[in-house]
Chains A and B, each alone.
Chain A
Amino acid sequence: MAKNIYIGKILKNEEVQKDCFLMKIKIAVSFETPLPGQFVMIRIAGLNDPFLSRPISIYSFSRKNNFCLIELLYRVVGKGTQIMAGLIEGSQVEINGPLGNGFEIQSVKKNVVFIAGGIGIAPLSLLIENLCRRFPSSLMTLYFGAQRASAVIGLNKLQKMCRLVNICTDDGSLGEKNLVTRVFQKDIKKFLPEDTSIYACGPKEMLVALGKIFSKNEFDCQVSLEERMACGTGACMGCAVAIKDKKGALVYQRVCADGPVFYLRDIIWE
């Protein structure tokens, strides 16, 4: 028995752009330091409606003398996140985590490429921070696509950490007016599979497009997935994703316990 359910106190919960919130939570010092790519299950204590906790990836984490700070960057997509968005400073939330497996970062190569779509920047931001600290000599390049300029969240911080930041938006209000996958594809010749690590997170359409790009070459790309979850701990089998096993056969793995990070080439899209 090692894991607790933590009571977190909301220090800040602000709308950083339309329908997109940044929640800063103060939590006990015993909270385990999360690996980039891990997530928490969050709920309002005692409420049966919404009934389930919500899985949210960890955007930033810091350890102070006698407490920890977690930041969650989330988009309002339904009832649960709507209620989360309405929570005021000082409110309490129940936090189960950190959960899942983070990004594989043991063998980071000379070039590191991050491909983010919209709110998909959330887990990548923690990863970028972590890799900058651990592998200062790696060359970090970020491709960040969003609907509009205001949805490019945390740009200042990201520009300080990455050698090159390529921004594109759907409406052209910041950077190139293009899809992030197309911007990356134009640049792909700059990278060699043997010395490049690639990490991506974004909407399904973006990941499917990346899957097509990487099907023609040897790049290994890790992606962080999201799925509706009930437990977050591997028991309910609800968050299934179709994966190719070693023999190439379809198996369903759990986004929560087997992921949420998977190798893009293993994912079977419908």
Chain B
Amino acid sequence: MKLKTAPRMAVNLGRLKLKNPVMTASGTFGYGEEYADYVDLNKLGAVVVKGLSLKQRLGNPPPRIMETTGGMLNSVGLQNIGVDAFIEDKLPFLRKYDAAVIANVYGETYDEFKKVTKILSAAKGVHALEVNISCPNVKSGGVIFGSDPKIAARVTKTVKEETSLPVIVKLTPNVTDIVAIARAVEKAGADAISLINTLTGMSVDLKTRKPHLKNITGGLSGPAIKPVALRMVWEVVQMVSIPVIGIGGIMTAQDALEFLIVGAQAVQIGTANFVNPHATMEIIEGIQSYLAANKIKDINEIIGTFQP
């Protein structure tokens, strides 16, 4: 028997309501416009834009990327146009679409986090903030803020004090105990947690014996990291009570469903966009077909139904 109506796809991330659980991951979807020719942005649960700093950032010198087996390394270094240019030049475009806009916030100091948060919170058309304490490719801030529970909590608190928007904190997997960090940011007031950012890695050119990346190390992403991401999401969902967004190597609807079953309320699609610009659309349709085929009326009926 077929379902009479299409399965309901809406999910809630605390106060943030999404029409479906599929969003783009920061740094893999530009400011939305880069993919507007390929994807109907209206169909996305949310667009998470490239990490924004107070002033524009140059980024790291090339070469910045290297392919690996089932993935890629990048050391872009948060090249971005700065928060003011984002609001002036990029946000008006995103406002035209019916997808939540989540701005990824980056700072080298607590003060920078504070200022960027304040500016974004005053802008029309930003629905939530994602706090970047997990970029492995910058010398100050980034992963340094995300590796210590006390510092991660302080950044979270700093951002929360400056905004009334929902605050998602994006965690790095490059830590010994990700649960400790997750609990610390929850206690500090985070409305949701997203994980994982990239895993630090490297690659060597045999001809020159030099690193393939000018920065020597970079962040590994792509399907190669999915099992690690899934394991970390599972560890975290058991120990926090705020919503968790699963990120890491999701290429297909099947991958996304694994994260949802384990307990993620939503997912972010990252590197898959590079390889297949239609990935987000195919994943949304794939989840819907799976629910319909299994006679599940509402996506929330599947979230957290993992049977270990």
With A51-B222, A230-B74, A238-B74 in contact, is A3–B37 under 8 Å at CB?
yes
Interface positions of B (Cβ within 8 A of A) = 27-30, 34-40, 50, 58-59, 61-72, 74, 76, 79, 222-223, 251, 271, 273-278
Question: Is B275 within 8 A of A52, CB to CB?
Answer: yes
A-B pair count, CB < 8 Å, reads 106
Q: In whole Å, how far is B224's beta carbon from the nearest beta carbon of chain A?
A: 8
Question: Is B65 within 8 A of A233, CB to CB?
Answer: no
Q: In whole Å, how far is A92's beta carbon from the nearest beta carbon of chain B?
A: 15
Q: Which of B28, B61, B278 contacts A236 (CB 8 A)?
A: B28
| Pairs A-B, 3 closest by C-beta atoms | A238-B65, A231-B274, A235-B30
Is residue A28 within 8 Å, beta carbon to beta carbon, of the partner chain? Answer: no
With A51-B275, A52-B275 in contact, is A241–B74 under 8 Å at CB?
no
Chain A residues closer than 8 Å to B275, beta-carbon distance: 43, 51-53, 230
Chain B residues closer than 8 Å to A165, beta-carbon distance: none
Q: In whole Å, how far is A258's beta carbon from the nearest beta carbon of chain B?
A: 12
Question: Is B72 within 8 A of A235, CB to CB?
Answer: no
With A51-B275, A234-B30, A252-B59 in contact, is A1–B38 under 8 Å at CB?
yes
Q: Which of B39, B64, B79 contacts A1 (CB 8 A)?
A: B39
Question: Is A230 within 8 A of B271, CB to CB?
Answer: yes
With A1-B39, A51-B67 in contact, is A227–B277 under 8 Å at CB?
no
Measured as residues with beta carbon below 8 angstroms from the partner, the interface class of chain A is 20 to 34
Q: In whole Å, how far is B82's beta carbon from the nearest beta carbon of chain A?
A: 13
Supply 16 A–B pairs (Cβ within 8 Å), ascending by A: A3-B277, A49-B69, A51-B68, A51-B70, A52-B274, A96-B277, A228-B65, A230-B74, A230-B274, A233-B35, A235-B274, A236-B74, A237-B50, A237-B59, A237-B76, A238-B76
With A52-B72, A234-B30, A236-B28 in contact, is A1–B40 under 8 Å at CB?
yes
- The A212-270 residues at the B interface (CB cut-off 8 A) are 227-231, 233-242, 250-252, 257, 270
Report how far A43 CA is from B7 CA in the complex, Å: 34
Chain A residues closer than 8 Å to B37, beta-carbon distance: 1-3
Q: Which of A48, A231, A250 contacts B223 (CB 8 A)?
A: A48
Report how far A53 CA is from B277 CA in the complex, Å: 11
